Amino acid sequence: MAHFQDPTGAAFSAWQAGSHPGIELVDEPGAPLWMDLMTTDLDVAQRFYAAVFGLSYTDASSAGMRYSMFSVPGGARPAEPHRPRQGAIRAFRRAPCPAGWRIVAMVPVISGSNRPCAVCRRVHHDLTRVLGTSAPDDWLAVSEGERMEAELTPDVCILPCHGTTRHFIRGHIQLPVVEPDPDVFVWSVWTEVDEASMECIARSWSDPNRAATAPLSGWLATELPYEQPTRGLQLTIYTRDPGMAPLLMVSAGSKHPLAGEQRDGIALHRVAEFAELLAR
């Protein structure tokens, strides 16, 4: 790694990546979401970063402030071509502080609304965006001695069980929040896959183009707070770009309420209800 200073005085660091893809954690609480360069000379900064890193720009200036959003080469996600920009350069006539970079992390909450909830009349603020467990339910059910023979990472679990080996991966079930304001709630859950699927996942784990992998099948291995059991629900697994947990879709033919909520969306009150149910 080396440390540099751009012509406007902003410091930054770079490293020789080799096969490293860069920021590997995205769309998770705490992950980098946006990057801003604060400077007094936007033109100089644009020319420098275009020459060094190949950035391209889209002007988004407003009265009293010049503002330019940037994209890196190949920065658009294959599955989300509408999200190609990674940050911005903003210029002030008089900088409030020396030139420098600011990194914005993903907020792990849904900010909510100032309006009373139509169901409970409470005001829902800063609701947890992602709920889930750090391990499959089956891992939590075995003894400490059995865990010594198993393996658990933040994304994968390998669990020997009665002469066989079971395979689990962590993924996201996204539920659109449709009212009062559009947003997304996420169940971070575990799904069980067969050995062939796990081998496919392992082969493409570090592939920058792994999102092109054909969808896989699995079974939900996390019990969620619904009246009907959720473990064993059939799932389709969509591998996403490195750093992104797989996207899990409940079978379209399922009549489980979870499938309906993933298809039709939920209200903000339901997000608050999830947190209360898990706290019991």
* Beta-bridge mates of residue 194: none
Is residue 70 a contact partner of residue 76, using CB atoms and an 8 Å limit?
A: no
| Residue 80: per-residue pLDDT | 44
| Residue 149: per-residue pLDDT | 86
Q: CATH 3.10.180 occupies which residues in the chain?
A: 2-105
* Beta-bridge mates of residue 166: 159
Is residue 135 a contact partner of residue 157, using CB atoms and an 8 Å limit?
A: yes
Q: What is the DSSP letter of 29?
A: T
Is residue 52 a contact partner of residue 70, using CB atoms and an 8 Å limit?
A: no
Q: Please say if the pLDDT value at position 94 is more than 70.
A: no
Q: Please say if the pLDDT value at position 198 is more than 90.
A: yes
Rounded Cα distance between 191 and 221, Å, is: 5
Mean pLDDT of 249-253: 91
Which of the four pLDDT bands, split at 50, 70 and 90, describes residue 66? Answer: confident
> What's the topology of domain 2-105?
2,3-Dihydroxybiphenyl 1,2-Dioxygenase; domain 1 (3.10.180)
Which of the four pLDDT bands, split at 50, 70 and 90, describes residue 84? Answer: very low
Q: Please say if the pLDDT value at position 95 is more than 60.
A: no
pTM assigned to the model: 0.68
Closest CA to 90 of 101, 82, 79: 101
* Beta-bridge mates of residue 13: 3
